[in-house]
Structure 1
Amino acid sequence: MASVRGVEESKAPEKQKALEDALYSSLHGVDDPERLIEDRNCLNRYLRAREWNVKEAGKMLKSSISWRQETKPKDIVCHTCKQQQGYHSMRQVGHDQLGRPVFYSSFTQATQRSETKEAAVQHIVYLLEQACSVMEKGADSCVWVMDCDGMFMSACNPQIAYGVNQVVSYHYPERLGLVLALNSGMLMRGAWAAIKPFVAPQTAAKLCFLPSPLTLEMLISENMGEELSTWLLEEVRLNLERPIRESQRQFWEAPPSLTGHDPRGCRSYVDRFLLPYYRKLENNEATFHHPHPNIVESLRTHHFFSMPVEAD
């Protein structure tokens, strides 16, 4: 049975370190404002992405450094979600037992009925930048649980998938550690058959189709921890209901009761990142996690109306 831990590396630690040292030396003098070259985990990821070829990994990392200077991905926000609430449903909802950020998306929840490569890339870059800021110690990748129920034809454009894969694989190598596709039908499998020949084998190996709800429950319960497993299974169940509840469709809004199911994420994610969001903003904390753009807007609205009114 597949493991949600993803593809394991077999290169001996001492050999990895030697290759990291070689890559570091080869990049001496490169203008690197974010100091990516000094990050051992970063060097290791680029080496893995190029099958431990130092020269190719160096070219790839230099390209990413230039790309980051030009695009400034830390400043990117998904404008389509800001213009149309719920346009993309993909969002971080917690961490797995390895400390990896976990994304969840549902085509049933998404309000988009058409997509562009630019919008898709913008959203995934925003999510990855935010997820990278809250990876637990020892984690260097993310998990994506993709609920394919409700998938529509325009979402299966291979050109869009190819464009997203190009950005993620070239500039976020090894960051997407595993994709779990559930409730997948002919549309999803057809789209994957079209794009798979253009995807690196080690990347393609990270997509796991879950054939049944039982497989999903077994894999998630074993690897996600009790809290996140319970949340994911309930979220999937609720999004299969027809008609879908308004509280599920508006996944960016807090539920009426904080003791019930919260579509924004599991309890620990909400407590750690959502509830203190505006306190951190007001305190001018240098870096903190930004959730899905529509969750940010909802938090801003509720924060504004909960502020005390000063007497004249």
Structure 2
Amino acid sequence: MRRIGKRSVRKKGYVTCFTVWIRAASTPRTWDFSITTPKLGGYRYKTIKLSNNSLRRFLVACDWDLSSAAARLRDTLQWRREYKPQHVICHRCRETPGCHSMRQVGFDKDGRPVLYMCFAQCSTTEQTVDGAVQHVIALLENAAKSSDQESCGYVWVLDLQGFKFFSSQKIAVAIEKVVSKHYPELLEALLVVNPGLFFHTVWHAMRRFIDQNTRSKIHLYRDKPRLQEKFHNLFPCELREWLFNEINLNLNSQYPKAQKTFWKYNHGDMHDPRGCASYVQKYVDNITLADYEDSFDRTFHLPHKNVLDEVLLRGKFKACGMKYH
């Protein structure tokens, strides 16, 4: 083993300001990191293992500035200790089902979680900044639990059908601040579909608050051929078809009730708004009440809060021999 001292490295740097031990594995490209932080809050943390990719994300976000990356990583570790994001539940969705429509619906060709959101599916326009931030944190934490990828990046499809201003700028800035600070460089791509002229005005006002790296990953699609090409390159056939069906149904002038209550699914319907078939089968239909109640550490992936509640409620009725409507 060898110890990396406090020195400035821009292209192949590793976090200092911590005690960083690097142990080479079978190849020079594979490393294990064991980081012991200084005393925070009056006591010393336990050793925390972080992957090469996890440390690299913070370095890239800070333009390879070691002291800035180390400070940001230490702040994130402190934030996770105090806020406990791995246990966050969206209380707004609990109080008002469908308040937030953003949810995981599948995986891209590289196994990264794919998130989908449509404003038309939100059950209320009374959105709060704290509620939106809480929902995104819960979503990202659960997305990480579903991914086999070490870096756990994600792709976000944002459907602007039904978009209204209702403090969207404040919410977007608050979300971007938390995500860029504590989940840096996880966003692989943000695909914005159905952007109207009004959104372009809002986007020009918001973009100055978003760092350049994130801005480069945001793509607006107004014409279908370009969107089809992008979907074809990113998503497997099953998810690609699900996304196009979901987007088209949300564009319908006679909005289907099943789309508004996206957390429910009637087995007679052709389209399941909860997600593509493989995702629903693995992460939704197989959740049991016993599994959920027995898992205090919540190390397994949970779907959207309302999807989860619906599945567990059906399970309660089934256990009692009653039919759930």
TM-score by length of 2: 0.84
CA distance in 1, matches of 2:240, 2:96: 30
SS in 2 for 1:188: helix
CA distance in 1, matches of 2:16, 2:151: 23
Alignment of 1:214-253 (within 5 A): 214-253=225-264
TM-score by length of 1: 0.87
Deviation at 1:155, TM superposition (A): 5.0
For residue 125 of structure 1, what is the aligned residue in structure 2? 137
User: What residue ranges of structure 2 are gaps of 5+ in the alignment?
Assistant: 1-8, 21-34
Match of 2:310 among 272, 279, 298: 298
* Amino acid corresponding to residue 224 of structure 2 in structure 1: P
Greater Cα offset, 192-201 or 225-234? 192-201
Larger strand proportion of the pair: 2
Deviations 1:92-144 (A, max 9, x none): 00000111100001111111212221111011001001001112235421111
For residue 40 of structure 1, what is the aligned residue in structure 2? 52
CA distance in 1, matches of 2:18, 2:12: 10
- Seen in structure 2, the aligned counterparts of structure 1 residues 52 and 37 have a Cα distance that, compared at 3 Å, is farther
Q: Indicate if the aligned counterparts of 2:105 and 2:274 stay in contact, CA closer than 8 A.
A: yes
CA distance in 2, matches of 1:35, 1:220: 41
CA distance in 2, matches of 1:273, 1:184: 31
SS in 1 for 2:120: coil
Match of 1:164 among 160, 164, 175: 175
Q: Indicate if the aligned counterparts of 2:85 and 2:138 stay in contact, CA closer than 8 A.
A: yes
Match of 2:282 among 272, 281, 301: 272
Match of 2:63 among 51, 61, 75: 51
Is the counterpart of residue 29 in structure 1 residue 37 in structure 2? yes
Is the counterpart of residue 254 in structure 1 residue 265 in structure 2? yes
Q: Percent identity?
A: 32
CA distance in 2, matches of 1:277, 1:23: 43
CA distance in 1, matches of 2:275, 2:185: 24
For residue 186 of structure 2, what is the aligned residue in structure 1? 175
- Seen in structure 2, the aligned counterparts of structure 1 residues 225 and 33 have a Cα distance that, compared at 3 Å, is farther
Q: Indicate if the aligned counterparts of 2:15 and 2:70 stay in contact, CA closer than 8 A.
A: no
Q: Indicate if the aligned counterparts of 1:90 and 1:106 stay in contact, CA closer than 8 A.
A: yes
* Amino acid corresponding to residue 250 of structure 2 in structure 1: N
Deviations 1:233-274 (A, max 9, x none): 11001111112101111100023337x211000011001100
CA distance in 2, matches of 1:269, 1:221: 19
Larger helix proportion of the pair: 1
CA distance in 2, matches of 1:265, 1:34: 38
For residue 199 of structure 1, what is the aligned residue in structure 2? 210
* Amino acid corresponding to residue 278 of structure 2 in structure 1: S
CA distance in 1, matches of 2:296, 2:83: 24
Greater Cα offset, 280-289 or 234-243? 280-289
Q: Indicate if the aligned counterparts of 1:86 and 1:109 stay in contact, CA closer than 8 A.
A: yes
- Seen in structure 2, the aligned counterparts of structure 1 residues 38 and 277 have a Cα distance that, compared at 3 Å, is same
When Rg is computed on C-alpha atoms for both structures, the one with the higher figure is 2
CA distance in 1, matches of 2:127, 2:262: 20
Q: Indicate if the aligned counterparts of 1:238 and 1:244 stay in contact, CA closer than 8 A.
A: yes
- Seen in structure 2, the aligned counterparts of structure 1 residues 198 and 300 have a Cα distance that, compared at 3 Å, is same
For residue 121 of structure 2, what is the aligned residue in structure 1? 109
Alignment of 1:10-21 (within 5 A): 18-20=12-14
* Amino acid corresponding to residue 71 of structure 1 in structure 2: Y
CA distance in 2, matches of 1:103, 1:282: 26
User: What residue ranges of structure 1 are gaps of 5+ in the alignment?
Assistant: 1-14
* Amino acid corresponding to residue 70 of structure 2 in structure 1: G
CA distance in 2, matches of 1:39, 1:138: 8
Q: Count how many residue pairs are aligned between Structure 1 and Structure 2.
A: 294
Greater Cα offset, 196-205 or 262-271? 196-205
SS in 1 for 2:146: coil
More RCO (CA 8 Å, sep 6+): 1
For residue 69 of structure 1, what is the aligned residue in structure 2? 81
